[in-house]
Amino acid sequence: MLTLKQIRENPEEIIRRLQVKNFDAANLIDQVLATDKKRREIQTQTDHKQAELNQRSKDIGSLFKQGKTQEANHAKEQVSLLKDEIKQLNQSLRHTEDDLNKLLLRIPNIPHPSVPPGKGDSDNVKVRSGGNIPDLGKEALPHWELAEKYRLIDFEMGNKLTGAGFPVFTGKGAKLVRALISFFLDEAEKAGYREVLPPLMVNEASAYGTGQLPDKEVQMYQLATDPYYLIPTAEVPVTNIYRDVILNAGELPVKNTAYTPCFRREAGSYGKDVRGLNRVHQFDKVEIVQIQHPERSYDTLEEMVNHVEQLVQKLGLPYRIMRLCGGDLSFTSALTYDFEVFAAAQKKWLEVSSVSNFEAFQANRLKLRFREPGSKKTQLAHTLNGSALALPRIIAALMENFQTPEGIRIPEVLVPYTRFDILS
């Protein structure tokens, strides 16, 4: 969430810039400012009364010590009115704080000045592209047919075991998954990321920290017996490692990477785009996460984009990098680049990565701060993350683009991991 300081200092600017996200914040900001003012008034009052009570309590203590019991008892009676007042003030202070917090949670992150305006997909701006789209001819099969032909993925079996959207990888298909995970992790390690293997379930506090809650319950699977959520992305546990942490500026940037399965309900998204691996409820992903100094976070965003680009290049997939427009930008993001690869049989661009700078938006919720050497003051750090990469759509594109009459060729960089060079 945004900080009160930001809102107090530049309410007009925030309202203006949120329009790029097609979000009308005017009313909300007014309420925030009014509630904040009220809160401060109540607190000032409460503090004064509390200070008085503290003083009187001390006085009573010393009266007792001096053996002036009667005077002490008399003083005790006088204090009871003050206590009631404080109790009431505290109650209304808490209510006001709650109100304020609820308002703040409804305001999305401010988009970076470079974010193009727009409503959806078609308004995203292509930054650059690379790779060649293969000409497969009319015989080309979509990946779900190839998967069946070479017995790489069993969608029916997943349906039996769990339900729709839970594919079962088999034989060389399973090995390909494992190979991709290892390849991506090794590449991340080479780029200086520390590998983390986090829990796949998180508690409510963590889900709030990165912004999945409130309101995104529809996206996450929730346990019926315990207050835990299955993670929709490794971003949640990996970023929450730094919840309530104060780092030294010298420790920045903090770079972590994690492989995890990801679980997404994808409620309401049934239809034409869900065939095969295009949209599933459980998938594997390697995530890269950085915590960076505010002055350097946009350089870091570029660095992360370059890292992801280099991955799709090594895999030999045709790709394009899109700068998301305001309408497509997530609630928490200030700037996001999406990576799409082309699946040549379906003739579709598939989103395989999303690299974002959240600036201080998550850090504020997480209370993730850092301190400059020699300074007493703490300030909020910037958080960034990106997929590097999400597997299913990569696999779909690999299968479709590299199909030959003999089988599906494996990109050279993966062969050391798969120890076979064709899926046949």
For residue 225, the minimal CB distance to RNA (Å) is 10
Spatial neighbors of 417 by CB under 8 A, at least 6 apart, are: 178, 179, 180, 182, 183
The tokens for 201 are 């379930």
For residue 117, the minimal CB distance to RNA (Å) is 33
Closer to RNA by CB, 323 or 369: give it.
Answer: 369
Closer to RNA by CB, 37 or 151: give it.
Answer: 37
Q: What is the DSSP letter of 360?
A: T
Q: Are 289 and 384 in contact (CB under 8 A)?
A: yes
For residue 363, the minimal CB distance to RNA (Å) is 12
Give CA–CA dist 92/86, Å, rounded: 10
For residue 112, the minimal CB distance to RNA (Å) is 25
Closer to RNA by CB, 33 or 185: give it.
Answer: 33
Q: What is the CA radius of gyration of the chain?
A: 27
For residue 30, the minimal CB distance to RNA (Å) is 18
For residue 53, the minimal CB distance to RNA (Å) is 6
Give CA–CA dist 112/106, Å, rounded: 19
Q: What is the DSSP letter of 296?
A: G
Residue 214, φ and ψ in degrees, nearest 5: -80, 170
Closer to RNA by CB, 216 or 371: give it.
Answer: 371
β-strand partners of 194? 256
Closer to RNA by CB, 230 or 368: give it.
Answer: 368
Query: How close are the terminal C-alpha atoms of the chain, in Å?
Result: 51
Closer to RNA by CB, 141 or 205: give it.
Answer: 205
Give CA–CA dist 40/4, Å, rounded: 12
- How far is CA 323 from each of CA 317, 334, 389, 390, rounded to the nearest angstrom? 19, 11, 17, 18
Residues contributing to the site for RNA (CB under 7 A): 4, 40, 43-44, 46-48, 50-51, 53-58, 60-62, 64-65, 76, 79-80, 83, 246, 369, 371, 374, 376, 378
